[in-house]
Chains A and B, each alone.
Chain A
């Protein structure tokens, strides 16, 4: 399997391709001569930026009419593969919709899918993917043994997003063939949670809270400290599952991957689930009363102590400076 052409499934939010999608387009350039993108309904408005990052063609599945992307986007790609115009590999961001498209595409092509990819390189004429396991403690390298196309679901921030100064991509209509009952779900309303300050996965500083905060009401300390540091407030899965904070704050395997300049873990023990989402932060500060908590193994600065005492003092000290 030689890799001549890679397609990147690019998600578009508020009219722009997501950073995770641009990371994949950027990295695909280093692996294949031809890089093309697949979008649904935003082809004309995204051709410029996708071209700038290296895509030469944008395949636009078209407006989904309130449907979910999984079935139609997979069907569109599978139709191209069947027609002999498809790619040698498909890269998708590890998001809700990205995983849906990947799963359905895998069945349509009867090809395996590799998920949780954190690295991707050429090997023996094909692609070898890297996967972080055991909370990022070990890296597996995997390759497909079957004919392509290979399907890879890649975690955010695995590669840098770097523009190549390319010309706007050509837009090609790629409507899905009839998907029948598999495309029957419809979005009837969208709800956007209000957010102040930077986005969790783009912030330079992330302050996260976990079970060690003791109760829901104490999360306000995390928000206050994050606000003072012009950062974003994150959370462990434990307190999201407990209903203390919305899911959009979750850092970890099933939440956001973050790589800020400073990550502060407050009252977070460091379950593998959490570590996988923050372990590559440039600097990690951990505050936890249990000195054996696994989070201290990845911390550049670990404070063994009570978050209920330390965070209010931190807030007060920072306020005094301003």
Chain B
């Protein structure tokens, strides 16, 4: 079974995020790392290929600047190869443009199953995987907390507001996974060394036969007109607990007539 995992390389979440003063888009030109939320899809894919006994995991990603360090992390976990669409024309691409690029790249890999995170940790738009599904004419099951493949179908436990649904879906399909689906492995030393020589295919937007007007700022067809600080909450009262802190909480709840 061949599984494609959509992965995103994002600015280190530990560093304070910043907006470009001109475009007001998130600054993404520094070092990029593998989005933590993608590690679950990579792990899930590796386990499904293992269980099937054949096939491989291919990563598909997009970046304006040719960055590969995040991809190497996922290759070190065990993915076989990666397709990276990298092109200066991609700067400013929105979710729909991203989906068009990724869908075209995924087609080349002819996967049985496509996995993605429910949303990225930097932009958290959360629509790209479903947009890819629609572009490819495939079914999708989002917010999976359990994924099993039997024969030519996938069985998913999908989160709902009230609990979860069991959903069955024929392959090929797109499934988005939550962070609870599996425990991602840490890359081994051997894996890290092996990852250095694994193939990363670099493609441009033109290689995929996509018109550059469909991507980038022009393709996004939306603009940020203003950025302003949100109404700040007035500074609150801070009490260091020396054994009586709970009494101040009780008093506070009484004032609010909650008690």
**How far apart are the CA atoms of A300 and B238 in the complex, in Å?**
8
Using known A-B contacts A102-B127, A262-B258, determine if residue A314 contacts B239 with beta carbons closer than 8 Å.
Answer: no
- Min CB distance B88 to A, Å, is 21
Q: Which of B205-243 contact A (CB under 8 A)?
A: 220-230, 233-234, 236-241
Q: Are B134 and A107 in contact (CB under 8 A)?
A: yes
- Min CB distance B106 to A, Å, is 14
Within the complex, which residue of B138, B169, B170, B233 is in contact with A300, where a contact is CB–CB below 8 Å? B233
Within the complex, which residue of A140, A183, A190, A321 is in contact with B259, where a contact is CB–CB below 8 Å? A321
Chain A contributes a number of interface residues (CB within 8 A of B) equal to 90
Q: Which residue of B lies closest to A281 (CB)?
A: B233
Q: Which of B118, B131, B178, B241 has the most CB of A within 10 A?
A: B241
Q: Which of A285-317 contact B (CB under 8 A)?
A: 285, 287, 291, 296-306, 309-310, 313-314, 317
- Min CB distance A130 to B, Å, is 9
Q: Are A107 and B135 in contact (CB under 8 A)?
A: yes
Within the complex, which residue of A96, A113, A298 is in contact with B142, where a contact is CB–CB below 8 Å? A96
Tell me, yes or no, whether B248 is within 8 Å of chain A by CB. yes
**Chain A contact residues: helix, strand, loop or mixed:** mixed
Please indicate the chain A residues that have their CB under 8 angstroms from the CB of B170 in the complex: 181, 184
Using known A-B contacts A229-B253, A241-B179, determine if residue A191 contacts B229 with beta carbons closer than 8 Å.
Answer: no
Please indicate the chain A residues that have their CB under 8 angstroms from the CB of B145 in the complex: 247
**How far apart are the CA atoms of A246 and B137 in the complex, in Å?**
33
Q: Which of B165, B169, B178, B247 has the most CB of A within 10 A?
A: B165
Please indicate the chain A residues that have their CB under 8 angstroms from the CB of B163 in the complex: 190-193, 246, 248
Please indicate the chain A residues that have their CB under 8 angstroms from the CB of B220 in the complex: 112
Q: Are A296 and B130 in contact (CB under 8 A)?
A: no
Residues of A within 8 A of B (CB): 13, 68, 70-71, 74, 95-96, 99-100, 102-104, 106-108, 110-116, 128, 132, 134, 136-146, 153, 180-193, 204-205, 229, 237, 240-241, 243, 246-248, 253-254, 261-262, 264, 279, 283-285, 287, 291, 296-306, 309-310, 313-314, 317-318, 321
Residues of B within 8 A of A (CB): 17, 24, 94-96, 99, 118-119, 124-131, 133-135, 137-143, 145, 158-170, 173, 178-180, 220-230, 233-234, 236-241, 245-250, 252-253, 256, 258-259
